[in-house]
Each structure stands twice: as structure tokens, then as C-alpha cells.
């Protein structure tokens, strides 16, 4: 499974190799350009179908994703599962809320989805937002899991593609020591401690 998915990601320019400054402020030799997936409906739909199939018998009633990429994925996965989608917005850093649309009913079975898992900050904040509204977490899924440590969630977890990627603080970065030029990918400004 992973070899085919990896080829798909490489062929579509999602997996980049080099020397990157992540949003977290850490350096890494590998970067996942998630917008190469999100801007491509065909690739997005294909990757989302893996998640939809995985959770097809879990009785999911709503799919919730955090802004920005999570909205697109939640919509596509909800479409494939034949349920509604919702958005977890971030009115302040680290805090997410579900305020638009029909919200979440008490006890509703929710699948939380996101694009790339690095530290799990967005996922955890989205889970909290669902629980706060009385929802029940039936599963958590991401397209790409690049986390160094397991999230240790109490819910069924699924990643379409997993790759353990080492990140380095600047002072310990082997790529800096080799004088490889540092690039800052993605649209977000690099801020220490922010979610990647
Ligand atoms: Zn470096």
C-alpha cells in the first residue's frame, strides 16, 4: 500500500527533499507540500477514499476537520461516507471551536480528519472542540503522519501514509553543518512553537 501511495505523492510533488525550515522553527530534510494534494481534486478524492473505506463500518455521522486543509478533506470524506461535514475554526492560537452550520448533536459519532500530522496540536484541539459540543469521537484520520512520537490517542487512528521524519533544532541540524541552503516552504510564516 505505502509504496503506491508514496509514488503517487512523489509524482504529484507532495514529497520534497532538501533542507526546510518548518513552521515549528525546527529544520528537516523532508517536507510534505500538502497543497499539492488539496489543490488537486482527483488526488484528494483518491487519498480520502482510503480514509472513507477504513471507517465505512464505524457508523460515522459527521466528519470534522480543522482549518484550512481539514475543511477540504472533511468535505470530501463526508461526501464519500454520505454524511455531513463540519469545520473546527481557530479563533485564537491553540484553541478550536465548531460554530458554523448545524454543529454537533449530543452523542453524534464524529470522525476527525486533517492533512499532515506533525505534533498533533490541531488534531487535539479539534477533538476537544468536538467533545465540548457533546460529540463522540469514533476515529481520527490524517493523510500524512510525519510525527516523531505516537499521538497516543484513545481513539481508532488511521493514516493513509506514514513516515517518521526527524526534525532538528537549528544548533543540532546536520544539514546546516553541511551548508545546504535553508528554504522555507508553504504559505505560513515560521513562528517558533506554532503548529507545523
Ligand atoms: Zn538546518
Q: What is the rounded average pLDDT of the residues 1-15?
A: 88
From the CA of 151, how far away is ligand 1's center (Å)?
25
Band (45; pLDDT cuts 50, 70, 90)? very high
Distance 79 CA to ligand 1 centre (A): 41
Å from CA of 91 to ligand 1 middle: 32
Domains defined for the chain, CATH in brackets: 41-164 (3.40.50.2020)
- In order of 97, 137, 157, the CA distances from 124 in angstroms are 12, 11, 13
In 9-83 the beta strands, taken as DSSP E runs, fall at 15-21, 27-32, 62-66
Q: What is the pLDDT of residues 69-96, one digit of tens each?
A: 999 999 999 999 999 999 999 999 889 9
Please report the pLDDT score of residue 18 as a whole number.
95
Which residues hold their Cβ within 5 A of ligand 1, which is an ion?
27, 173, 175-176
**Residue 22 Cα to ligand 1 middle (Å):** 10
Top-confidence residue, 101 or 4: 4
Going from the Cα of 17 to the center of ligand 1, the distance in angstroms, rounded, reads 13
Cα Rg for the chain, rounded, in angstroms? 17
Distance of CA 70 to the CA centre of its chain: 7
Distance CA 65, CA 87 (A): 5
Average pLDDT of the chain is 91
pLDDT at 31 over 80: yes
Amino acid at each position: 500500500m505505502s509504496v503506491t501511495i508514496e509514488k503517487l505523492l512523489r509524482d504529484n510533488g507532495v514529497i520534497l527533499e532538501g533542507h526546510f525550515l518548518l513552521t515549528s522553527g525546527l529544520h528537516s530534510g523532508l517536507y510534505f507540500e500538502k497543497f499539492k494534494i488539496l489543490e488537486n481534486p482527483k488526488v484528494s478524492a483518491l487519498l480520502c477514499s482510503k480514509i472513507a473505506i477504513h471507517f465505512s463500518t464505524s457508523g460515522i455521522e459527521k466528519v470534522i476537520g480543522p482549518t484550512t486543509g481539514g475543511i477540504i478533506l472533511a468535505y470530501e470524506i463526508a461526501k464519500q461516507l454520505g454524511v455531513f461535514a463540519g469545520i473546527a475554526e481557530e479563533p485564537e492560537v491553540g484553541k478550536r471551536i465548531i460554530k458554523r452550520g448545524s454543529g454537533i448533536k449530543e452523542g453524534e459519532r464524529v470522525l476527525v480528519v486533517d492533512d499532515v500530522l506533525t505534533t498533533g496540536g490541531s488534531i487535539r484541539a479539534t477533538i476537544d472542540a468536538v467533545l465540548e459540543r457533546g460529540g463522540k469521537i469514533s476515529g481520527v484520520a490524517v493523510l500524512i503522519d510525519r510525527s516523531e512520537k505516537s499521538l497516543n490517542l484513545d481513539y481508532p487512528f488511521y493514516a493513509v501514509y506514514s513516515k517518521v521524519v526527524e526534525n532538528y533544532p537549528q544548533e543540532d541540524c546536520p544539514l546546516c553543518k553541511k551548508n545546504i541552503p535553508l528554504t522555507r516552504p508553504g504559505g505560513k510564516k515560521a513562528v517558533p512553537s506554532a503548529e507545523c
